[in-house]
Structure 1
Amino acid sequence: MSGLFGSQSNTASQANTLGDLSKDVALNQPPSDSVSDLSFSPRSEHLAVASWDNKVRIYEITQNGGSEGKAVIDHEGPVLSCHWSSDGKQVVGAGADKAARLLDLGAGAAVSQQVAAHDQPIRAVRFFDAPNSNAQMLVTGSWDKTIKYWDLRSSTAVATVQCQERVYTLDVQKNLLVVGTADRYINVVNLNEPTKFYKTLQSPLKWQTRVVSCFPDASGFAVGSIEGRCAIQYVEDKDASSNFSFKCHRDPPSNNMTNVYSVNAISFHPVHGTFSTAGSDGTFHFWDGVAKHRLKGYPTVGGTISATAFNNTGGIFAYAVSYDWSKGYAANTPQYPNKIMMHPVTPEECKPRPSVKKR
């Protein structure tokens, strides 16, 4: 689909899709450096925040939008990824110190333990429930061009899988693992056979992959690139007719030039299956991928958006406003905003709408 779906000609419709940021609340005591990842607990109102100041912070979000720091995982370098276990008792962080570190909140632990290691920085980490067992396992993806699987009871990897290139992003949902690497490779893994690529494809987007995010039902995934595009891809060939890509996070053309921005984060609503995109242009949007239209677009938040997450009920959308290095080191000034905002989500913002068929 070539155009920005949801773009309408009349101003009334445009006004109808414009979102409101006035009720968004800032997180108390955010990290002191850029935020790289956000992850909500699947069981409670706790938010994990990974940042370039070598920490994963865990906050409790209260009813009135307040927030309080509860725990910290210390790393020896910038943290690039964080994730919660499905029971909400453990948090893992991974990053430039080539290690993944876990904090067991269920055990009341105050100090984290190292649970994974790579030869190069770890770009992404996810918990998953091992198929045919109740065991929680980890998968890590690194710039050393491998993904590794970890049983938390062992200090060595259960298995290592070689990828074509450096791992830039990965995501897990049920038995689906999707890994995006440099050179636009995307590897699809069925976790029933974790050491084999079920399918390998080149990204349908022409530029570098920034993020992959699995559908809640694990039937497919979304891909975001540095060039202001998003693609919706189904795993099975029988559903391939539903694959499409669209433009987003780009300025209106001016003098035959269009400014395009990186899509930094894609988050799926846990209830409705609709999704958000957020980018270096400082905006986020909610989309209905089935009906192929935009539900809401929001005004710029005054800085690039580096990470996003919905809470477990879908009632809170968290987004980090912090520098993402999209304009190099010179733009990273002390004045650049560094904050995490909580957006209260109303049903009309993210509920799917009936598809309007054009004649």
Structure 2
Amino acid sequence: MKKITKISLLVADLSSAAIMRAYLLSKAIKTLDIDVEILGFIFGDKLYSNLPPEFKIYHLPGMNFPGFAQNILQILPKIQGDIIYAIKPQLASFGVALLKKLSSRKPIILDIDDWELSWHGGDEWHYHPTLKQVARDILRPNGALRNPYHPLYIKWLENCCIYADAITVHTSFLQQRFGGQIIPNGKDTALFNPDKYHPEASRIRYGLSGYKILMFPGAPRPYKGVEDVLLALDKINRQDLKLVIVGGSPYDNYDEELQQKWGRWIVKLPNYPAEIMPDVVAAAHIVVVPQRDTPETRAQFPLKLTDGMSMAKPVLSTIVGDIPAILGETGYLVAPANPEQLATQIQLIFHNLELANQRGKKARERCVEKYSIEAMAASLESVIFRL
């Protein structure tokens, strides 16, 4: 059997946070003594800035058709791995992988870490245009089908999953829909190690000293439930409680809307590189992951969970998707979209913070056992060597 020496990871958009899944998979693959190359397209302004400079990345600018077709032809000969690992069923990743397979017969692993079509209405979405509309969508300079991210292409590629030689997913929802092996979102538990950081020193460093800190380390979106935490803080009405949002939303002005309505509770911190994030999370008393219950969130494995777990923080989240199974008995759970329950749990945690911190240590142990890079690698090994 041919020895696998290199795997090529194809990423649809190297400018978005979605690249972090590729980074985690790459680190896991490296522990199996297999070289990794990351290739893809940049549809935003620049390469995702928070990515650690650990892997060389070959990238081309993302653009609409017909220019995008030329870029696909340019990237195909650069794919040198024995196996192609496509991140997401998108034209710019899985579509490219299928073209490469036609010419090289190299096997494909498809990773699905979101139900992409859910952002467009899920199974209810259909494209039933007239011939005239199809012509407009293709031929006009701003025609809808010139966009490689059009949901029609996503639907096609989800139906093409049968042509992947293996599928990996990270939640049971996605496994039930697409099959495949669950590879959870891992965490570099050596980097995210609470023994290396001092919480009060971190709070001083980031201007948070003197406050009780609830931390949301990510980009707020309505379905992520940040508003529910802010409504809970309204109910508690304690000036020493602050919700720290790290990074903020690059998508729209949702941050500003939250600030205008609940600015008295919010402290905004900028984006930080991955190697700085453990020091930032160390400043938290509680990590909050208040997901609402939507088709999108049921398919997700929020990385914020393992941020808090790995740093031995009390994690307060909601009963949505796989979150209860991920936390086990080591976190605090409430119903989604329920500010009253959130308020009650926040007060209970701070009433007995020592007990909550003990539960946080249990969360750290669970994270090392089930969600470390090494645990990811152990699950990936059987997928890779079956090919």
User: Shorter-normalised TM-score: what interval?
Assistant: under 0.3
Q: Which has the higher contact order (CA 8 A, sep 6+)?
A: 2
Q: Could you say which structure has the higher strand fraction?
A: 1
- Taking structure 2 as the reference length, the TM-score comes to 0.25
- Taking structure 1 as the reference length, the TM-score comes to 0.26
Q: Could you say which structure has the higher helix fraction?
A: 2
